[in-house]
Chain A
Amino acid sequence: MRLTSHAMSWIALILLAIPWSAEALQKEVVAIGGAEITVSREVLKNGLTVLIMENHTAPTIGFCTAFKVGSVDEWDGVSGVSHILEHMLFKGTESIGTIDWEEERFLQARIEEVRLQIQAEQSVRFHRDEEKIAKLTEEWMQLREAAKELANGREFGTILTENGARGLNAFTSYDATAYIVSLPANRLELWTILESDRYTKPVLREFYTEVENVREERRRSVEDSPGALLYERLTAAAFDAHRYGVEIIGWDSEIRTINRSEVEDYYRRYYAPNQMIIAISGDVDPEKTVAMIDAYFGDYKRQPPPHPVQTEEPEQLGEKRLEVEYDAEPRILMAWHKPTVGHPDNAALTVARNILDNGLSSRFERNIVNKGIAASISASVDNPGERYPNLFTVSAAVQSPHTVADVERAILFEMDRLKTEPVTAAELEKAKTQIETAYVRSFGSNMRSAINIAYEEAVLGNWKRRPEEILACREVTAEDVQRVAKTYFTKKTRTVGYTVKPEKEELESAMGGTR
């Protein structure tokens, strides 16, 4: 395969002689749950933040590159663009994944021109020229075939994989986007080369093919999953104004119609070193690592900061209820508006969540699951994201012969009990231990450590905000829990969604019945 050997020789050529700087890095230390977390920090001149956790127990490294941008930063008409861009950054660069970049660049430009012509024609409402659309579409398909001949969209992943990479992946949330991989420790420079090329000279090749894969992902992860579908529609109902009301993957009509040039615009606007955090955990020397990153990322140009999200969710003025018809075991999802990390009440709400739902001895487990009312139940304090005020959610699958209404009553009974009687000292103590222990144990692999540090730096502004928030939970009293329950778990600010089985007749016709 000519392509990959081409890229490998190119990589061999640009291996730089890096002057190691011996300056000591700023160290940040947090003591929590009997462990100490130490992170070295360096901010490059272009604004790129580098965070390093040394760990020499295995000859491995976990990498996480996070950008401070997620679906909450999108705008009408391009929902899902953050996630589509995330997919596209696996398709290579101007030098990786191509046979002839000059020729490919020409074809890519032409593909986009024709695409825009087709869309312009399709947007005519009356008497549109179907013949012209068909002709353009045919040309477009031919151009795409020709471009495919020049591309190898797998090359980026292949180089990493044949170098022993595991867990090569990425994820997009409402708040941020992160790219992850684990490599043997002696592949640090290879990663730095590939990763710098990836964000400075990406080529969104095979774009319109990949968009079809994203539509399949939407079908699978949202439309075919009753729980996810209910979540999508409930958040859409819970937020009148804020973008937290649009699911990360976006609406199908907008995924289907997005153009490559729109994604490239978004990339230019939001992907810049000053929006970027690199976290590296594992068998590395922090000073040398920073010097290497500076050598390869130093030329990456800073951009003006993107528009902040200005929309604030207006106060909810009354309970909202919705149903989603779905032929599956019924489910319920309930949500209450609440503040996020950094607000003094968030710690008490986090403790309340753990008392309701964490482990087999939690209130929900004992009083709802063990009584056979729900098959499963879970509560969360961080949906949809944590950059902006969010929701306290409770979701449950009904255990037959009970109904969704039974489960709702059981949940509300437990929520009300938090308001009327103080939680016990043992419950408080247990919740606090669980919260701390879970955080410490989440550093169980280099990749998880890198994700923790990079993602939380991107979302919360500083990775230490998370352990600080957890330490704030230590101070929470029974009165605090009671107070926040009264403040936030109100009928007025809640949204309640059920999945219900479709009416009999409709089901028959969906199955090709006689009606």
Chain B
Amino acid sequence: MIRTVLPSGLRVIVKTNRLSPSVAVRLVLHSGTIADPAGKEGLANLTSSLLEDGTKKWTGDTIAEKTDFIGADFGVSVDRHATVFVASFLREHLAFMLGLGRELLANPVFPAKEIRKVQGQILSDLREDEHDTGAVAMKNLRRFLYPRTHPYGRPGSGTKKTIPALKRSDLVRFHREEYRPSGGILMIVGDVKETEAVSAAKRAFGSWRGNGRPGPPEVPDARGPQRIRTKAHVIPQKSQCDIALGMVGIRRLDPDFFAAIVLNQILGAFGLGGRLGNRIREQEGLAYYVYSALSPTVGPGPFVIRAGVHPSHVGRAVALMTEEIDRIRQKKVTDREIEETRRFMIDSMPLRLETNEGIAAFHLNEEYYGLGPHYLEKYRESVQGVTKEEVLAVAQRLLRPDAFGLSVAGPALPAPLEDLVGPLS
């Protein structure tokens, strides 16, 4: 693996992997939806969606034609913290695809006609989300976890109100101020020679300059709900309810990170959904899916339990969830549980590092959070070192059976949701 920093401050990392004759590229800029000005929510989203619709050198049609012609996949996505150019293609197209990345990120022209089209598409997506039980359940849960003033409490994709109001000048300004190479990370993995790929990266990005954020943006803490807060949202004609029960989780750089990951595995991830999967799905047959997910990121991401169940089973499923939350913070997990989880996390590592995409994600993470340079070894040691006591401590810190958000979306429930939650509230 080679790591180098271009004069512009763009970090370049290249790793050879000859599994197939293809290459994966990721380019991360620290310009996420957090950077949206107040009242202009969705600006980062709209800006990134328009990059492929025309640059100084190429029209949107030309870009589509050129990439389709070589069978390459590419796109630009945006999350709360970053804008990411993603591409995968056969090895002979490396120079062209890096040049395309440069063109999209540095020289977009935002044609007015295309802006209107993309605004229409985003509005269509937002309308579709209103009929999606999972999307609605998560949106309502978020309101319980983060205040509207918190960066994670804002609607990152925008709203039906903000999207149509965005103007071309907003996009141009956002791009000028936020799309900067310094501090960015370019990751190239695949069937390439490392030195040649670095040269190709220099040719494509060497002349692109601009001072941006040196790293991920700051995200403040969030307390999360201090009691049980419930919201049921009826979407007619659906037959299944989506449940999202959650609280505020941890940051990636939290000292309890590894204990928390092990906790999440045992509670609702290991195998087919850990303890939750065993109770709710295997034992009782209540759900097609049930799991817990921890999202340790720049700021404290949510810690969420999700399930899809019939409306008549919502009460029972929620009762089992709170029971399991209570159990894992009352009593230490078993030797067997901690051992199988550690083994899984360590022994499955080679599989995470098999594909171009997997390798890119791993090393990008290492660079993004400054975990390196020998993170793989540290990872093994840290996982091996997690104790039952640490898991108990982090469970008591993060989980409370009497303080969480509970959001359900789907057909009407047989009784008001707060009654279904039972005596705990």
Most A C-beta atoms less than 10 A away, residue of B22, B67, B340, B351: B351
**How many angstroms between the C-alpha atoms of A470 and B352 in the bound complex?**
31
Asked whether B346 is an interface residue with its Cβ less than 8 Å from the other chain, the reply is yes
Asked whether B348 is an interface residue with its Cβ less than 8 Å from the other chain, the reply is yes
**How many angstroms between the C-alpha atoms of A274 and B18 in the bound complex?**
35
**How many angstroms between the C-alpha atoms of A212 and B64 in the bound complex?**
46
Q: Across the two chains, which residue of chain B brings its CB closest to A187?
A: B347
CB contacts (< 8 Å) of A299 on chain B: these are none
Would you call B354 and A58 a contact (CB within 8 A)? yes
Would you call A211 and B285 a contact (CB within 8 A)? yes
Which residues from 12 to 54 on chain B have a C-beta closer than 8 Å to any C-beta of chain A?
A: 17-22, 52
**How many angstroms between the C-alpha atoms of A441 and B344 in the bound complex?**
28
CB contacts (< 8 Å) of B60 on chain A: these are 360
Contacting chain B: which of A218-226, A290-298, A458-466, A486-494?
A218-226
Would you call B283 and A209 a contact (CB within 8 A)? yes
Would you call A328 and B128 a contact (CB within 8 A)? yes
Asked whether B286 is an interface residue with its Cβ less than 8 Å from the other chain, the reply is yes
Asked whether B7 is an interface residue with its Cβ less than 8 Å from the other chain, the reply is no
CB contacts (< 8 Å) of B131 on chain A: these are 226, 327-329
Asked whether B278 is an interface residue with its Cβ less than 8 Å from the other chain, the reply is yes
How does the 8 Å CB contact mask read for B266-292 relative to A, with 1 for contact and 0 for none? 000011100001100111111111000
CB contacts (< 8 Å) of B127 on chain A: these are 329, 400
**How many angstroms between the C-alpha atoms of A327 and B239 in the bound complex?**
13
Would you call A1 and B61 a contact (CB within 8 A)? no
Would you call B68 and A444 a contact (CB within 8 A)? no
Asked whether A372 is an interface residue with its Cβ less than 8 Å from the other chain, the reply is yes
Would you call A399 and B282 a contact (CB within 8 A)? no
Would you call B344 and A162 a contact (CB within 8 A)? yes
Which residues from 30 to 87 on chain A have a C-beta closer than 8 Å to any C-beta of chain B?
A: 33-35, 55, 57-60
A164-B350 CB under 8 A given contacts A217-B288, A370-B117:
yes
Q: Across the two chains, which residue of chain B brings its CB closest to A2?
A: B336
**How many angstroms between the C-alpha atoms of A442 and B343 in the bound complex?**
30
Q: How far is the CB of B177 from chain A (nearest CB, A)?
A: 28
Contacting chain A: which of B165-173, B230-238, B385-393?
B230-238
Q: Across the two chains, which residue of chain B brings its CB closest to A362?
A: B68
Of the candidates B52, B239, B281, the one whose C-beta lies within 8 Å of that of A219 is B239
Q: How far is the CB of A121 from chain B (nearest CB, A)?
A: 23
Q: How far is the CB of B261 from chain A (nearest CB, A)?
A: 15
A166-B124 CB under 8 A given contacts A216-B240, A441-B20, A443-B20:
no
**How many angstroms between the C-alpha atoms of A276 and B238 in the bound complex?**
39
Which residues from 306 to 326 on chain B have a C-beta closer than 8 Å to any C-beta of chain A?
A: 308-310
CB contacts (< 8 Å) of B309 on chain A: these are 216
**How many angstroms between the C-alpha atoms of A34 and B20 in the bound complex?**
11
Of the candidates B68, B283, B289, B336, the one whose C-beta lies within 8 Å of that of A359 is B68
Would you call A511 and B234 a contact (CB within 8 A)? yes
Q: Across the two chains, which residue of chain A brings its CB closest to B114?
A: A370
Which residues from 435 to 484 on chain A have a C-beta closer than 8 Å to any C-beta of chain B?
A: 436-438, 440-441, 443-446
A35-B68 CB under 8 A given contacts A4-B336, A164-B348, A219-B239:
no
Q: Number of residues in B with C-beta < 8 Å to the partner?
A: 74
Asked whether A326 is an interface residue with its Cβ less than 8 Å from the other chain, the reply is yes
**How many angstroms between the C-alpha atoms of A360 and B64 in the bound complex?**
5
**How many angstroms between the C-alpha atoms of A1 and B19 in the bound complex?**
39
Of the candidates A154, A359, A433, the one whose C-beta lies within 8 Å of that of B272 is A154
**How many angstroms between the C-alpha atoms of A362 and B64 in the bound complex?**
9
Would you call B90 and A34 a contact (CB within 8 A)? yes
**How many angstroms between the C-alpha atoms of A34 and B343 in the bound complex?**
39
CB contacts (< 8 Å) of B69 on chain A: these are 361, 426, 429-430, 433
CB contacts (< 8 Å) of B351 on chain A: these are 60, 164, 166-167, 182-184
CB contacts (< 8 Å) of B238 on chain A: these are 223-224
Would you call A366 and B61 a contact (CB within 8 A)? yes
CB contacts (< 8 Å) of A408 on chain B: these are none
Would you call B64 and A359 a contact (CB within 8 A)? yes
Q: Number of residues in A with C-beta < 8 Å to the partner?
A: 80
**How many angstroms between the C-alpha atoms of A163 and B346 in the bound complex?**
9
Would you call B90 and A437 a contact (CB within 8 A)? yes
Would you call A209 and B340 a contact (CB within 8 A)? no
Asked whether B334 is an interface residue with its Cβ less than 8 Å from the other chain, the reply is yes
Of the candidates A35, A165, A510, the one whose C-beta lies within 8 Å of that of B348 is A165
Which residues from 195 to 232 on chain B have a C-beta closer than 8 Å to any C-beta of chain A?
A: none
Would you call A212 and B286 a contact (CB within 8 A)? yes
Which residues from 86 to 135 on chain B have a C-beta closer than 8 Å to any C-beta of chain A?
A: 88, 90, 92, 117, 120-121, 124-125, 127-128, 131, 133
Which residues from 350 to 403 on chain B have a C-beta closer than 8 Å to any C-beta of chain A?
A: 350-357
**How many angstroms between the C-alpha atoms of A208 and B412 in the bound complex?**
26
Would you call B344 and A399 a contact (CB within 8 A)? no
Asked whether B70 is an interface residue with its Cβ less than 8 Å from the other chain, the reply is yes
Asked whether B71 is an interface residue with its Cβ less than 8 Å from the other chain, the reply is yes
Asked whether A213 is an interface residue with its Cβ less than 8 Å from the other chain, the reply is yes
A507-B236 CB under 8 A given contacts A360-B52, A362-B68, A446-B354:
yes
CB contacts (< 8 Å) of A90 on chain B: these are 272
A444-B22 CB under 8 A given contacts A182-B351, A224-B239:
yes
**How many angstroms between the C-alpha atoms of A252 and B193 in the bound complex?**
55
How does the 8 Å CB contact mask read for A198-231 relative to B, with 1 for contact and 0 for none? 0000000010111111101101110110100000
How does the 8 Å CB contact mask read for A397-434 relative to B, with 1 for contact and 0 for none? 10110000000000000000000000000100110011
How does the 8 Å CB contact mask read for A1-41 relative to B, with 1 for contact and 0 for none? 10010000000000000000000000000000111000000
Of the candidates A59, A162, A360, A440, the one whose C-beta lies within 8 Å of that of B340 is A162
Asked whether A304 is an interface residue with its Cβ less than 8 Å from the other chain, the reply is no
12 more contacts with CB within 8 A, not counting A184-B347, A219-B239, A360-B63, are A4-B336, A35-B20, A161-B344, A164-B349, A209-B284, A328-B131, A361-B65, A433-B70, A436-B71, A437-B72, A438-B71, A510-B236
Q: Which residues of B contact A (CB under 8 A)?
A: 17-22, 52, 60-61, 63-65, 67-72, 88, 90, 92, 117, 120-121, 124-125, 127-128, 131, 133, 234, 236-240, 270-272, 277-278, 281-289, 308-310, 334, 336, 339-341, 343-344, 346-357, 410, 412
Closest 6 CB pairs of A and B: A164-B347, A437-B71, A360-B64, A212-B285, A359-B68, A209-B285
Sampled A-B contacts (14; CB under 8 Å): A58-B350, A157-B272, A158-B270, A164-B347, A165-B344, A165-B348, A167-B351, A327-B237, A360-B64, A397-B128, A433-B69, A445-B354, A445-B355, A510-B236
